[in-house]
């Protein structure tokens, strides 16, 4: 189908649309169905014995169904990539793509579940009712601050791993990259001054994980400037950020936060003026992670920073969640873990960083296609289950 007059900017005959036509997923059977004997084993009457066994001992579902190797990739389409609130139908191509990544990198069967949005309680109830079909729940592209409450309630309610990748996958790979970037510039995490631009899902999780890893001086900025207790407009999770960050009591906007900062981590979009970047400390580190347009273009960042990373695949040092989430779930599923702990996240970041034994300014994280990434992360997670 060619682009119609209603959609003049879409090339329906181009390679992107052709790659998505019919969807990117299918269903395959793991056992052959060749004749009546196979039918009696796979379905009735043979299946009845398996059902009775699981009814007597629910833990057997992990062995005699595909549940243990199946993850639900769940969204309500309210915060999709850089597209925002586009709804569940438009979110489906992203969730299908996520499922392809699960399968390719970790051999996990992932099922997109795109839901109509609702309140936190409504979504928690709906997801909890679906949970018996899955060995894990990967929350995806759900807007903040609702995503925090949804994840917290599900973790409390369910006995399977629940992981919001926009938060924790991002944080794990950022930490991995920062561990190696600090090595490149001859620094350690505790003596870095870090600025996180963005107080949404990714910004909150990045801040928390960096603090657990030993970073002492983190300043978080939102669209109104530095988050601090002196601001009267803070609500919810931003109060918690204000209580644990900004130890030097800074005030003002992002430009003020960047003065003498060692690290800038952008997870909010927008553009940071070069003049503000120029006020950072010598041999600084810039992670400009907005896609498709980094907050600081790498050409600009390299004029002022010793190490530069983006979220894009066409520049060195791509901070990509694919380095984390396949292995995280592989390790959790294989070990029978009921949750993904903070210790597991730290171990996963260290495992990713260790895959670059001699980091350089041009290589602080491995390629997503480097052999053994998912296995290394899975081993680190499973060891702590």
DSSP one-letter code for 164 = E
CA angle 288, 340, 228 (to 5 degrees): 45
Residue 320 in marked binding region: yes
Closest CA to 262 of 289, 276, 280, 288: 280
Residue 69 in marked binding region: no
Positions marked active-site: 43, 98
Q: How far is CA 163 from CA 18, 74, 147, 168, in A?
A: 31, 10, 11, 7
Let me know how long the chain is: 385
Q: How far apart are CA 173 and CA 313, in angstroms?
A: 14
Q: How far apart are CA 202 and CA 237, in angstroms?
A: 13
Residue 159 in marked binding region: no
Provide the phi-psi class of 84: left if phi over 0, else alpha when psi is between -120 and 50, else beta: left
Backbone angles phi, psi at 323, to 5 degrees: -65, -20
Q: How far apart are CA 253 and CA 276, in angstroms?
A: 10
Helix (H) / strand (E) element for 18: namely helix 15-20
Please return the burial class of 235, using the count of CB atoms within 10 Å of its CB with bins 0-12, 13-18 and 19+. exposed
Q: What is the dihedral of CA 277, 279, 285, 286, to 10 degrees?
A: -10
Determine contact, residues 95/112, Cβ cutoff 8 Å. yes
Residue 57 in marked binding region: no
Q: How far apart are CA 136 and CA 71, in angstroms?
A: 5
Q: Which residues contact 353 (CB under 8 A, 6 or more apart)?
A: 175, 176, 177, 179, 180, 359, 365
Residue 166 in marked binding region: yes
Q: Which residues contact 86 (CB under 8 A, 6 or more apart)?
A: 77, 80
Output the known binding site for a divalent metal cation.
140-141, 166
């Amino acid at each position: 189908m060619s682009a119609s007059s209603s959609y003049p900017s879409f090339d329906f005959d181009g390679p992107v649309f052709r790659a998505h036509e019919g969807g990117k997923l299918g269903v395959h059977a793991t056992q052959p169905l060749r004749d009546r004997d196979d039918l009696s084993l796979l379905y009735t009457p043979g299946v009845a014995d398996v059902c009775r066994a699981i009814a007597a001992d629910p833990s057997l579902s992990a062995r005699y169904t595909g549940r243990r190797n199946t993850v639900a990739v769940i969204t309500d389409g309210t915060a999709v990539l850089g597209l925002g609130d586009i709804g569940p139908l438009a979110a489906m191509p992203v969730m299908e793509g996520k499922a392809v990544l699960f399968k390719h990198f970790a051999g996990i069967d992932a099922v997109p579940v795109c839901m109509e949005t609702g309140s936190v309680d409504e979504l928690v109830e709906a997801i909890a009712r679906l949970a018996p079909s899955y060995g894990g729940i990967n929350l995806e592209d759900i807007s903040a601050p609702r995503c925090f409450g949804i994840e917290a309630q599900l973790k409390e309610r369910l006995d399977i791993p629940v992981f919001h990748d926009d938060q924790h996958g991002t944080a794990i790979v950022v930490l991995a990259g920062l561990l190696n970037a600090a090595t490149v510039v001859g620094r350690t995490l505790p003596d870095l001054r870090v600025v996180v631009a963005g107080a949404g899902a990714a910004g909150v999780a990045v801040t928390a994980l960096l603090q657990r890893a030993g970073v002492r001086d983190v300043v978080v900025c939102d669209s109104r400037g530095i988050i601090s207790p002196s601001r009267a407009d803070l609500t919810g999770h931003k109060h918690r950020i204000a209580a644990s960050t900004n130890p030097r009591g800074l005030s003002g906007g992002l430009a003020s936060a960047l003065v003498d900062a060692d690290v800038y981590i952008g997870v909010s979009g927008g553009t940071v003026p070069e003049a503000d970047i120029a006020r950072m400390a010598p041999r600084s580190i810039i992670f400009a992670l907005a896609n498709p347009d980094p907050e600081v273009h790498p050409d600009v960042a390299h004029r002022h920073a010793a190490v530069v990373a983006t979220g894009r695949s066409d520049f060195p040092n791509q901070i990509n969640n694919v380095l984390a989430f396949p292995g995280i779930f592989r390790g959790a599923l294989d070990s029978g873990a009921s949750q993904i702990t903070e210790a597991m996240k730290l171990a996963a970041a260290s495992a990713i960083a260790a895959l670059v034994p001699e980091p350089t300014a041009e290589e602080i994280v491995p390629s997503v296609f480097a052999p053994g990434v998912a296995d290394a992360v899975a081993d680190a997670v499973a060891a702590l289950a």
